[in-house]
Amino acid sequence: MQTTSIKAYGTEAADADLKQLQIDRRVPLAKDVEIDIMFCGVCHSDLHFARNDWGMTEFPVVPGHEIVGRVTRVGDGVSKYKEGDLVAVGCLVDSCRTCDNCKDDLEQYCPEWVGTYGGFDKHLQTNTHGGYSERIVVDEEFVLRVPENLDAAGIAPVLCAGITTWSPLRHWKVNENSKVAVVGLGGLGHMAIKLADALGAHVTLFSRSPGKIDDAKKLGADEVIISTDDAQMEAAMGRFDLIIDTVPYEHDLNPYVNTLSTNGTLVVVGYLGPLDPMLVTVSMIMGRRSVAGSLIGGIAETQELLDFCGKHNITSDIEVINMQDINAAYERMLKADVKYRFVIDMKSLKA
């Protein structure tokens, strides 16, 4: 297979900083779109994966799955895109395309889904490499169209932070009668507030950080509950139809379950792993309450979200950084010191 060598940023070990690497991209095949990457968002999953928090990372890793750029070349069989189009790639670059999940536009639950990084690249027989790079080559079925009225840097986080919160909002049919709460004001949390607000819901933020109250209200939250204040948590009992929990690390879900209304659901999208303390079933049984999980979103649903953002003029609140600043950005993300998503300007890598 013909390849070209390009510049990327990644790491060869969990305890090493990210640094510049060379990686190969395939020369576009018949159904491929080659994209010159303009911007790539920085997701907390990039940090988890680079540092092997989930114990499944194979090195080297080139993170990045919030990719926006322009098409530079397409294969002979491509019909959806042409050179110059503003496009995006999210967390998925392939799937089996034949299983029930794929047929239902739920490629993210396909047993053979291929992640944008750390997946298995059937063409090059190596791991896939993500958006902290100059270019990417992706099958047209996994490329998304970006509305031209939106800021290209600001829309990047919609490809993961946005779709990961949009998918549960849609699945649980959030509308103007819904009471939605969001746990944690970071990348996912701030998109969840904006999107739930745009769907007309009453929106509450649970945060540990009193310093974020004003920001949350500007983003669209109707109220903020400080989660470390027992009196405020007590007063919120039985109130929410849907809670989206974006906290990245182990924490106690029980106080949040108590704040669900009858038939309410708490959807975990942040923390991946066993719970400590464990879930107590009492308040689930007493109120027919559910605790669920949700993974990103499918390709059709991601396009639906990009179009919704185009129509409602929604982008992410971002801090643009250079590729060379990524290690400092990870340290700030660990301290929840991001307003509210870092986005890498890929010109800094190409220079």
Q: Cis peptide leading into 60, omega within 30 of 0?
A: yes
Residue in 154, 168, 270, 298 binding ligand NAP, rule: CB under 6 A: 270
Binder among 187, 220, 264, 298 for ligand NAP (CB under 6 A): 187
Task: Rank residues 21 and 338 by Cβ distance to ligand NAP and give the closer one.
Answer: 338
Alpha carbon 18 to chain centroid distance?
A: 20
Q: Who's near 230: CB < 8 A, 6+ residues apart?
A: none
Looking at beta carbons only, is 33 or 268 nearer to ligand NAP? 268
Among residues 101, 164, 259, 316, the one that binds ligand NAP under rule CB under 6 A: 164
- Segment near ligand NAP (CB under 6 A), from 30-38, 122-130, 179-187, 281-289? 179-187
Residue pair 136/108 in contact (Cβ under 8 Å)? The answer is no
- Hey, which residues between 288 and 347 contact ligand NAP (CB under 6 A)? 294-296, 333, 336, 338
Strands 135-139, 32-42: pairing kind = antiparallel
Instruction: Please state, in angstroms and as integers, the Cα–Cα distance from residue 144 to each residue in 102, 147, 196, 250, 290, following that order.
Output: 17, 10, 22, 33, 33
Residue type at position 271: Y
**Of 137 and 188, which CB lies nearer to ligand NAP in the complex structure?**
188
Q: 126: part of which helix (H) or strand (E)?
A: strand 126-127
Piece in contact with ligand NAP (CB under 6 A), picked from 156-164, 171-179, 279-287, 322-330: 156-164
Mind giving me the DSSP string for 16-52? S--EEEEEEEEPP-TTEEEEEEEEEEE-HHHHHHHTT
Query: Do residues 315 and 158 make contact, with C-beta atoms less than 8 angstroms apart?
Result: yes
Q: Which amino acid is present at 168?
A: P
CB of 50 to ligand NAP, least distance (A): 11
Any bridge partners for residue 265, and if so which?
242, 290
CB of 164 to Zn ion, least distance (A): 7
Q: Give the whole-angstrom CA distance, residue 343 versus residue 316.
A: 10
| Residue (of 184, 205, 160) closest to 295 by Cα position | 160
Q: Are the C-beta atoms of 303 and 139 separated by less than 8 Å?
A: no
- Of 74 and 188, nearer to ligand NAP (C-beta) is 188
249 binds ligand NAP (CB under 6 A): yes
Q: How far is the CB of 125 from ligand NAP (least distance, A)?
A: 27
- Residue of the chain from 269, 305, 323, 326 that contacts ligand NAP (CB under 6 A): 269
Question: Residue 99 binds which one of ligand NAP, Zn ion, none, with CB within 5 to 8 A depending on kind?
Answer: Zn ion
Report what 336 binds from Zn ion, ligand NAP, none; CB cut-off 5-8 Å by kind.
Answer: ligand NAP
3-state SS assignment for residue 11: strand
> What x/- string results for residues 189 through 228 when contact with ligand NAP is judged by CB under 6 A?
x-----------------xxx--x----------------
Q: Which residues bind Zn ion (CB under 5 A)?
A: 43, 45, 95-96, 99, 102, 110, 160
The residues of the shown chain that bind ligand NAP, judged by CB under 6 A, are 43-45, 48, 160-161, 164, 184-189, 207-209, 212, 246-249, 269-270, 294-296, 333, 336, 338
